[in-house]
A and B are shown apart, each in its own frame.
Chain A
Amino acid sequence: MANLQAHPAGGERRLPTGRAGRVDRRRVPIGPLEYCRRWWLQLIVGTTFLLLYAPIATLVAFSFNDSRRNIVWRGFTFDYYVKAWNNQSLFDAFVNSLTIAVVSTVVSTILGVLAALLLWRFRFPGKAVYEGFTALPIVIPEICMGVAMMAFFARVGWPTGLPWPLNLSNITISHIAFSFPFVAVIVRGRLIGFNREFEDASKDLGASEWQTLRHVVLPYLRPGVVAGALIAFTLSLDDFVITFFTSGPDTITLPVKIFSMVRFSVTPEVNAASTVLIIITVIATVAATRLQVPTRPDNPGGG
C-alpha cells in the first residue's frame, strides 16, 4: 500500500517557482506500482470491457430498431416494446416471474436471516457439516438441482393444475431453496462487523432476547438484509435452469419464455423483453451493491 505520508494542514502551498535553469514541473514518471498507468494493461482492460459490454449494448440498441431483422439500424421505435406488452403469453410470463420473485424474496430473506443468526450465534455439534449443507445449493451445478426438483415434485405427487397463483408454488419453493443460502452468506458477512458487546449491553440493560433482536441486532443488520433481499429477487427473476425443469405449460416465466422464443427466431421483441429484464436486475443489483458498502462497524444504527 502506498504509504501516503501527507501533512494534514493545507497550509500555504508552494507553487513551483521559476528558478533559472530548472524545469518547473516535469511529467511524473510511472511509479513501480502504478500499473494502471501502463498502456498495455489499459489496452487489455479496455478490450475486455468492450467485449463484455458490446453484445449487451447491441442487444439493447436493437430493441429500439425499426426493422424486424437485427442487422442494420433503420431508425428509432418503441414498437417492439408495445408488441411485447401486447403479446399475451409474454406478458403472462412476466407477471409470473414477478409474482414468484416477490414471494421467493420474502420467504428466502426470512430463512436466510434465521440461518445467518444461527450460524453466527451458536456453537453446536456438526456445525461444519451443517454449514457445508447450507452452502451446497450455491455450489452444485444448477442442472443437478433442477432435475432434482423436477423429480421431487413428480414423485411426491405435487398437485398440478391448481388455479393461479398456486400453480406457481413448485417454482417458488425451488427458488427459495437456492436463494436463501445466498441471503445467509450476505447477512453473515454483515454480522462479522457486529460488535457482540452491543448485544451484551442490551441484555445487561434488561432487554429480552426478542427486544435485543428487534432493537439492536436487526437495525444493524438492515443494510445486509436489504442487500440480501435484492439479490434473492434478482436470482429468482433471472433463474432459468431450475425454472426450466420445474415449470409446466401454464407456468412459464420470462427467462423460460425468452429461451423458447430464442430457439425459434431472433426478433426485436425478444430484445425488448430482455431489455426490460436487464433494466430491472441492474437497478436491483446497483441498489444492493450500494447497500453492501460497509458502514462503520461500531455503529449499530447501520445507516
Chain B
Amino acid sequence: MESWRQNRVVFWVLGIPPTLWLALFFVIPLGIVWFISFGEKRGLIDIAITGTLDNYARALQPLYLQIFWKSIWMAGAATLICLVVGYPVAFAIAFAPERWKIWLMLAVILPFWINILIRTYALIAVFRTRGFANFTLEWLWEKGDWVLATAGLGEYHLLGERFVPLNMLYNNYAVSMGIVYAFLPFMILPLYANIEKLDRSYMEASFDLGAGHWRTFTSVVFPLTWHGALSGIIIVFIPALGAFFIPELLGGTDSQLIGNVIERQFKSANDWPFGGALSFLLMYATFGALALRAVLVGRGKALEV
C-alpha cells in the first residue's frame, strides 16, 4: 500500500467521484434530517430550524418509548428465533460434504435475494384464515379426530366439535414470524462463515480429552464461533428494528413499530421534525448496537460487518 502523496493524480481521480457522490447524496441528506430534527413545523412544508429539543422530548414520551421498547422486544425475539434456528442449519452446512456445501449455501442465499416484500406477501397466503398453515392444521385435526373416532372416543369431541381456524395473521406473532422469515439468511451466512473457519482439530481435541458432543459444543464450538453469532444478531436486529412494511402487511392495529411511526411522520402526518428525531434515535440505537459488538469482539474488527 502506498501513501496518497506518492501519486496524487491517481489518488484524486479514484477518490473524487465516489466521495462526492457519498457526500452529496448520502451525508448531506442525513445532515438535513438531522437539522430538521431540531426544527419546528411552521406550515404545511415550512420548517424553522430553531435548535429546539422538543421533538426528542416528545419521542421520549411514554407512548413512543413504549413503541420503541416494543420494536426492540419484537426485533429481539425474532433475532433470537433466527439464532436458534440458524445455528444448527449453519452448523450442518459447515459439516456437510464439500460438494454439497455450495448448493446448500445457494439454497440459503436464494430466498435472501428474492424481494423481501414479495416474501412477506407470500407469508400472507400461508398465515391467513383460509391459508395453508390452517389447511395443514385442519388436515391434522381431521386425522386426529378420525383416529379418536375409530378408537371409540368419537362422542367426546376431545379435539372440539369442529375445526376452528387459528388467527395467525394481523397480530404480533405474524410480524415476528415475518421478520424471522425475512432475515433468517442474514443469520445463517455469518454463522456459517465462522463455523466453517473453525479448525476441526479443536473439536477432535475435545473429544479426545473425553468430552461428549454437547460438552464440546458448549465449551469449544460456541465460544470459538460466537463472533459469527454476534455478527448475525447485529445484522438481523438492525433491519428488524427499522422494519416498517412487515408490520404494515402482517401486523394488526397494535403491531405498529418504530418504522411505521417514522413513515407516518414523513408521509401522512407530515411532521418531519418529529420523524427526523425518531429516525435519528433509531440510527443511534443502531450505532449503539454496532459499538456494543465492536466492544465485545475487540478492537480492529469494529467495521467488519
- Where the two chains meet, the residues of A that have a C-beta atom closer than 8 Å to any C-beta of B are 1-2, 32-36, 41-42, 44-45, 48-49, 51-56, 58-59, 62, 70-71, 110-112, 114-115, 117-118, 120-124, 128, 130-145, 147-152, 154-155, 173-174, 176-178, 180, 184, 209, 234, 238, 240-241, 244-245, 255, 258-259, 262-263, 266, 270, 274, 277-278, 281-282, 285-286, 289, 293
Contacts and interface: CB of A to CB of B under 8 A. Distances in A.
Given A45-B88, A56-B114, A118-B18, A209 B25 contact: no
Contact of A285 (B4, B11, B19, B113): B113
Given A36-B96, A56-B111, A258-B118, A122 B1 contact: yes
Interface in B230-251: 238-239, 241-242, 244-245, 248-249
A122 B115 contact: no
Interface of B: 1-4, 7, 9-11, 13-15, 17-19, 21-22, 25-30, 32-33, 36, 45, 85, 88-89, 91-93, 95-97, 100, 102, 104, 106-111, 113-119, 121-126, 130, 132, 181, 184, 199-201, 203-204, 207, 213, 238-239, 241-242, 244-245, 248-249, 259, 262-263, 266, 272, 275-276, 279-280, 282-283, 286, 290, 303, 305
A289 B286 contact: no
Given A137-B22, A139-B238, 18 more contacts: A41-B92, A55-B126, A55-B181, A56-B119, A114-B15, A122-B3, A141-B282, A143-B259, A144-B279, A177-B21, A234-B113, A255-B117, A258-B121, A262-B117, A285-B110, A286-B110, A289-B106, A293-B102
Nearest to B235: A139
Q: Is the interface of A mostly helix, strand, loop or mixed?
A: helix
Nearest to B96: A36
Q: Is the interface of B mostly helix, strand, loop or mixed?
A: helix
A145 B266 CA distance: 12
30 contacts: A32-B204, A32-B213, A41-B88, A45-B89, A45-B104, A48-B89, A55-B122, A62-B125, A110-B17, A111-B18, A112-B18, A114-B13, A118-B11, A122-B1, A122-B11, A122-B14, A128-B303, A143-B242, A143-B244, A144-B30, A145-B29, A147-B263, A147-B266, A154-B45, A176-B21, A209-B10, A240-B117, A258-B115, A278-B115, A281-B113
Contact of A36 (B28, B97, B132, B241): B97
B198 to A, nearest CB: 10
A294 to B, nearest CB: 12
A178 B25 CA distance: 9
Contacts of B29: 145, 148-149, 151-152
Contacts of B109: 285, 289
Given A124-B4, A147-B266, A136 B125 contact: no
Nearest to A69: B130
A282 B280 CA distance: 34
Given A45-B88, A70-B125, A289-B106, A240 B116 contact: yes
B18 A180 contact: yes
A151 B36 contact: yes
A282 B25 contact: no
Contacts of B125: 55, 58-59, 62, 70, 266
Nearest to A53: B111
Nearest to B13: A114
B84 to A, nearest CB: 10
